[in-house]
Amino acid sequence: MFKINKKIIFTVFFTTISFFLKRSYSQENTSDFVVVLDAGHGGHDSGNTGNGFLEKKIALQTSIQIGNYIKSNSNIKVIYTRSKDRFVKLSERAAIANRSDADLFISIHCDAFTSSKVYGAGTFVLGLHRNADNLRIAQKENSVIFLEENYQSNYKNFDPNNPESVISLVLMQETYLEQSIEAANTIQKSFVTNLNRKDRTVKQAGFQVLRETYMPSVLVELGFLTNKKEGTYLNSKKGQKEMSETIAKGIINYRDKLISSVFNKEKEITESREKPGNETIYKKRFADIVFKVQILVSSKSISKSNFKSLKNISKSKEGKIFKYYYGNVKSYKEAKRLKNIAEKAGFKGAFIVAFKNEKKINISEVIDINN
């Protein structure tokens, strides 16, 4: 049996959502799926201390138990950003996930609020702040960077207290947003179904810890330590056991649905294309497709002279956001070459997008026929 190429399945396929896999994949081979568990805070960063509880301690103990459950009930590989009470920079947490070639990044935290009545578990993915409460939560978690030396250079002038800073965060995770939301939804449903927890739904906010992870990523707020009853539950062995098992089940369910969707879609498209005459129809349909490499998102218009050695730069405006693209080619193979050039030029979050008549389209529809 061929060993799965994770870059094809979980990076190329799900970042470009291409449904045309060239290698076999089976339940026996799912150890290729890697989850990085990130226990928030640690060391001199205690996190929030509502009612005297320690967020860093609860997050660590819960993360360790999530990993133990996953390893005991599946052949998913688990990696921790920290397995003891120590401080880890936010940038290093993402770097650990990227070096591990992870398929899913889960960051565990506990929430706090001015009112002691607020309670419930929530899940977040990276995105624009939808309301003041989401912004508050993101600012709370992002403020950790002020505890790091040289944070100005490490985070390129990112300001946790400036709502516009989140625009720069969105680019890195835009490619993985659909899968991030799916993973967050699965975990959130697991809270409601298995523990009857209040459903705080999946939300988007600008978390720095999710910024540079090149895979689907979710931040979990276990509950509110400022609610004494909930804080007591999360600080207890019973609460941590129940929460960790519930999150672990959500992760396993997400992995299983991911595998199932790969093969169902691959079968559907393969059968469609094999029907007489459909190959010609596919080619005509995608004759006007071009590929570009998205390299940057900004709230302000940027001069093309700022893109170093890269030529053939174009831009589009979506709402108040400017998106910048490198290249304009007919071949997906050539687009991949341009993506490598962009990455070497310093645009590490670059990814390929497809256009038809100057309108962005779902790249999953065109990759295989183009190849």
| Residues 251, 284 within the same domain | no
pLDDT band with cut points at 50, 70 and 90 for residue 155:
very low
Q: Which of 232, 260, 288 is the last residue of a domain?
A: 260
Asked if residue 104 has pLDDT above 70, the reply is yes
| Residues 226, 330 within the same domain | no
Tell me, what's the pLDDT at 58? 98
Tokens 């705080």, residue located: 200
Residue 234 CA to residue 260 CA, distance in Å, equals 33
Would you say residue 85 lies in a domain? yes
Residue 367 CA to residue 19 CA, distance in Å, equals 9
| Residues 36, 141 within the same domain | yes
pLDDT band with cut points at 50, 70 and 90 for residue 240:
very high
**% of the chain surpassing 70 pLDDT:** 65
DSSP annotation string for 271-310: HHHTSTTHHHHHHHHTTTEEEEEEEEEESS---GGGSTT-
Would you say residue 366 lies in a domain? yes
| Residues 232, 366 within the same domain | no
- Identify which of 38, 40, 64 has the alpha carbon closest to the alpha carbon of residue 244: 64
Which domain range does residue 284 map to? 278-370
Question: From residue 345, how far is each of 300, 307, 308, 325, 339 by CA, in Å?
Answer: 21, 9, 7, 14, 10
Tell me, what's the pLDDT at 107? 94
Based on the structure, what is the number of domains in the chain?
2
| Digit-coded pLDDT (tens) for 196-213 | 998 888 887 766 666 667
Q: Which of 228, 260, 292 is the last residue of a domain?
A: 260
Would you say residue 290 lies in a domain? yes
Q: What is the CATH number of the domain that holds 290?
A: 3.30.70.1070
Residue 112 CA to residue 122 CA, distance in Å, equals 12
| Residues 155, 209 within the same domain | yes
| Residues 195, 234 within the same domain | yes
| Residues 235, 300 within the same domain | no
Mean pLDDT of the chain: 76
Tell me, what's the pLDDT at 311? 86
| Residues 225, 363 within the same domain | no
In what side-by-side order are the strands of the sheet with 104-111?
77-80, 34-39, 104-111, 217-224, 121-126, 199-205
Judge contact between 184 and 204, C-beta under 8 A: no
Tokens matching residue 40: 């928030």
| Residues 162, 24 within the same domain | yes
| Residues 290, 230 within the same domain | no
| Residues 244, 303 within the same domain | no
Q: What is the CATH number of the domain that holds 37?
A: 3.40.630.40
Residue 22 CA to residue 118 CA, distance in Å, equals 49
Q: Is the pTM of this model over 0.75?
A: no
| Digit-coded pLDDT (tens) for 55-92 | 999 999 999 999 999 999 998 999 999 999 999 988 78
Tell me, what's the pLDDT at 39? 97
Judge contact between 294 and 354, C-beta under 8 A: no
Asked if residue 260 has pLDDT above 50, the reply is yes
pLDDT band with cut points at 50, 70 and 90 for residue 9:
very low
Tell me, what's the pLDDT at 268? 62
